[in-house]
Structure 1
Amino acid sequence: MKNIRLKLTAVLLAFSLLLSFVIAVVDYVKLRDTVLLNQEAEIRFAEDKIIHNLSTIDKVYNLFDMEMASQMESVSKELLAKYEEEPDFTTWNFNALQEKYDMDIFILNDGNKVIHSSFEADIGLDFKACCSGLSALLDRRREEGEFTHDGLDLQSKTGEIKKFSYMPTSDHRFLIELGILLEDKEIFQQFNFIDTIDSLLKEYNIIESINVYNSGGNILGVKTEDFKVNKIEDRFLNVFEKVRKSKETEEVVITENHGKLTYRFIPYNADETRGFSTKRVVAIAYNNDLVANILSKYKNQFLHQLIVIVIGVVGLSLIIARIVAKPIHLAFHDSLTGLKNRAAFEDEIQKRVNRHKKHSLMMIDLDDFKSINDGLGHIEGDKILREFALTIKNVISPGYLAARVGGDEFLILVNNDEIQTVKKTAHILIKQFNNRMEDYFNNEGIRTSVSIGIAISSKNESFEELYSKADQALYKSKMNGKNQYSIFE
């Protein structure tokens, strides 16, 4: 009974714990995946929104800035005519020209260096030194001799968003560059990607920063008087160039003082390319530690829940095992003696026969047991049966199987077919039972003993055949005077 309860408890515990653990782990994995998916969704949303705004504003300017481009071309032609009349730029009043046309004016020499400008901060800016790609484009424009204009770009020294145009002089020595501030224009205000960036940073805690770089690595929308501050950091320069050339997204994980950040660099090209201004890279930095902290919190909750589940499962398993163990035990055992019943005994024998194991069967009967029940009553008879069951348990070796299969009929399956071993077991069994009953017999004046019939199994012998042989041997013991054993021959 105790063994059944322990085995049942162990099985229930193992199954319940495994099931609870699997369910808890699956729930945690789903929760973790949901957090990661939400993180990715936020980043994708921010990425799509920025790209959409850039695309929209480029398309809008492509459709509606023709008037601005036409105005810039007209001013460029006027300045070109002025150059034909007065080729010495040192005599030009660039501040007066800026006020007249409401445009910044730049003069670039044949080395693509700004030598004169109404925007004094840019005088000395060397495009060949800082921006080789743009410098090569300017060389081609100088040779082509036509008016060209770009999309929105930034003033490198200030970070202001502007539109630039270029017109070469007739002698191809210089480029007349014009710049118009766009940030105060109505179109820019309606599709302001800088405001979009600010709103995304406020809405999503996981996003640390969003930057839009032009082809030269300058950040659009950052106001600064320091040209280097507005430039992409050296540590990101390689990945920036790789993304700009390959047009494929790249990620870089950086550990900084405030945690581990992942920088995602996304290439962007406008539908209609105009110079280098419409070739950009969007960089979104998001906080890995924030997600890790959320997952750690969920993991702690998962462990606490698992502990509670384990405690509950252990308690429930103990209760169920205690309730169910007794009916299970009674289904396979004799309620009076605690030995196996006939059904359980036959099932075990069949298993051993199927495994072709050699064994012997002992059939035991209490001699004159009916006189005990008739003379002393069934209560005393039950005591004798229990005493004999105890005798069996004390005598048989581990692995032997004992059963009560009738009123005073018992069977013992011996895991051995050696005749001497079986004889020894039968002899000890008779002797010990007689010793146990000696005082009882003297007091009551009624005697009982045991007779045993033994059958040694042969190859492929069924239980019914072995049982029949043991029964015949038992009958022989009875006929020869009882209180003895006989072996079927």
Structure 2
Amino acid sequence: MSRIGKNQYQFGKYSLSYHIMLIFIIVGSISTGILFTYLYHIEKESIKSEFLISQQYGEESLINAIQLADQSFSFYDNAYNQPLKIALQRFQDLYHEQGSRPEDTDLESIRKDISIYFDLPIDLYIFNASGVIIASTFEPDIGLNFSYAPKFLKRLNDIRLGDTVAYDAIVTGTKLGEERKYAYIPTRDHEYILEIGINMQEFFKKQGLSKYPRLARWYGRIWNDVSSVWIYDQTYQGAEDI
């Protein structure tokens, strides 16, 4: 056999083995890649699914916890509803006796008159049709405009156009962050809303009551993947004690 023929034979032999090995490597690499891609996709979807389920349960748990916290204060809410109703009706009578105009209304004298219905400090407010506090015994709230809270503004408008007393649950004050209980009554000409706010901050301190701080600490312990929580009341004020 010639030298050339031998080289050709050896070259063909090694070339065939090389190509076979190369084919196996390529096929194996592609198969491995497809397998890992599939497993990655399955694992990714599984993690996403578990995260969404955990998020859903977490949200439901927080909502339920807030509702329970609010319901626990229903005793204090209900205890002051009747005094507020009587006081608001008296407020309405005095408002109209004094001239039926906010600028003619002596809120300090009215507050002194109706304070006998309460064992806690109160403040009086007058809203105009735009949802702005135009007069109050609590000066920091004068000029407060609730246009930033459209749902609450709509509720104020419904109260102004109605004929009944409306109550709020205990909420956080807009300026000082104190806990207050509010109630409303429209003026008889439906131009304004009269409001009474009971300052319950000192009562809460004396009784050791805490609305949301304990809830926040509990939630942080139960759901370790939650970094922070914000809770807002119906006036869109955040609970600053969280």
TM-score w.r.t. the length of structure 1 is 0.36
Residue in structure 2 matched with residue 33 of structure 1 by the alignment: 45
In structure 2, how many angstroms separate the alpha carbons of the residues matched to 1:16 and 1:145? 81
Identity of matched residues, %: 16
Contact 1:211 1:219 in 2 (8 A): no
Match of 2:30 among 12, 18, 24: 18
The residue identity in structure 2 corresponding to 1:164 is Y
Residue in structure 2 matched with residue 165 of structure 1 by the alignment: 183
- Match of 2:168, SS state, is strand
Quote how far apart the aligned CAs of 1:35 are.
3.7
Gaps of 5+ in 1: 224-489
Residue in structure 2 matched with residue 104 of structure 1 by the alignment: 122
In structure 2, how many angstroms separate the alpha carbons of the residues matched to 1:64 and 1:200? 24
Match of 2:144 among 112, 121, 125: 125
TM-score w.r.t. the length of structure 2 is 0.64
Residue in structure 1 matched with residue 59 of structure 2 by the alignment: 47
Quote how far apart the aligned CAs of 1:205 are.
6.9
- Structure 2 residue 187 is the aligned partner of structure 1 residue 175: no
Contact 2:77 2:170 in 1 (8 A): no
Residue in structure 2 matched with residue 210 of structure 1 by the alignment: 229
1:463-478 map, 5 Å: none
Residue in structure 2 matched with residue 69 of structure 1 by the alignment: 81
Task: Rate the CA distance shift 1:201–1:38 in 2: closer, same or farther, 3 A.
Answer: farther
Quote how far apart the aligned CAs of 1:116 are.
3.6
Contact 1:43 1:207 in 2 (8 A): no
Match of 1:92 among 92, 109, 134: 109
Contact 2:233 2:239 in 1 (8 A): no
| 4+ long deviations beyond 6 Å | none
In structure 2, how many angstroms separate the alpha carbons of the residues matched to 1:58 and 1:205? 24
Residue in structure 2 matched with residue 438 of structure 1 by the alignment: none
1:327-342 map, 5 Å: none
1:447-486: CA deviation from partner (whole Å, max 9, x where unpaired)? xxxxxxxxxxxxxxxxxxxxxxxxxxxxxxxxxxxxxxxx
- Match of 1:220, SS state, is coil
Match of 2:238 among 210, 220, 227: 220
Contact 2:220 2:226 in 1 (8 A): yes
Contact 2:182 2:195 in 1 (8 A): yes
Contact 2:107 2:136 in 1 (8 A): no
Residue in structure 2 matched with residue 151 of structure 1 by the alignment: 169
Quote how far apart the aligned CAs of 1:107 are.
2.4
Q: Which has the larger radius of gyration?
A: 1
Contact 1:142 1:175 in 2 (8 A): yes
Quote how far apart the aligned CAs of 1:149 are.
1.1
In structure 1, how many angstroms separate the alpha carbons of the residues matched to 2:116 and 2:43? 61
1:422-445: CA deviation from partner (whole Å, max 9, x where unpaired)? xxxxxxxxxxxxxxxxxxxxxxxx
- Match of 1:32, SS state, is helix
The residue identity in structure 1 corresponding to 2:42 is K
In structure 2, how many angstroms separate the alpha carbons of the residues matched to 1:101 and 1:113? 28
In structure 2, how many angstroms separate the alpha carbons of the residues matched to 1:153 and 1:90? 23
Residue in structure 1 matched with residue 9 of structure 2 by the alignment: none
1:289-368 map, 5 Å: none
Residue in structure 2 matched with residue 138 of structure 1 by the alignment: 156
Contact 1:167 1:175 in 2 (8 A): yes
1:384-443: CA deviation from partner (whole Å, max 9, x where unpaired)? xxxxxxxxxxxxxxxxxxxxxxxxxxxxxxxxxxxxxxxxxxxxxxxxxxxxxxxxxxxx
Quote how far apart the aligned CAs of 1:137 are.
3.6
Task: Rate the CA distance shift 1:105–1:145 in 2: closer, same or farther, 3 A.
Answer: farther
Contact 2:180 2:197 in 1 (8 A): yes
Contact 1:95 1:118 in 2 (8 A): no
In structure 1, how many angstroms separate the alpha carbons of the residues matched to 2:116 and 2:192? 19
Quote how far apart the aligned CAs of 1:98 are.
9.4
In structure 2, how many angstroms separate the alpha carbons of the residues matched to 1:46 and 1:75? 42
In structure 1, how many angstroms separate the alpha carbons of the residues matched to 2:18 and 2:32? 20
The residue identity in structure 2 corresponding to 1:156 is T
Gaps of 5+ in 2: 1-12, 100-104
CA RMSD after TM alignment: 4.1
1:5-57: CA deviation from partner (whole Å, max 9, x where unpaired)? 33442343234323332333333333433443344344323322222223334
In structure 2, how many angstroms separate the alpha carbons of the residues matched to 1:152 and 1:136? 19
The residue identity in structure 2 corresponding to 1:121 is P
- Match of 1:151, SS state, is coil
Quote how far apart the aligned CAs of 1:193 are.
4.7
Task: Rate the CA distance shift 1:29–1:154 in 2: closer, same or farther, 3 A.
Answer: same
Contact 1:211 1:220 in 2 (8 A): yes
In structure 2, how many angstroms separate the alpha carbons of the residues matched to 1:148 and 1:71? 13
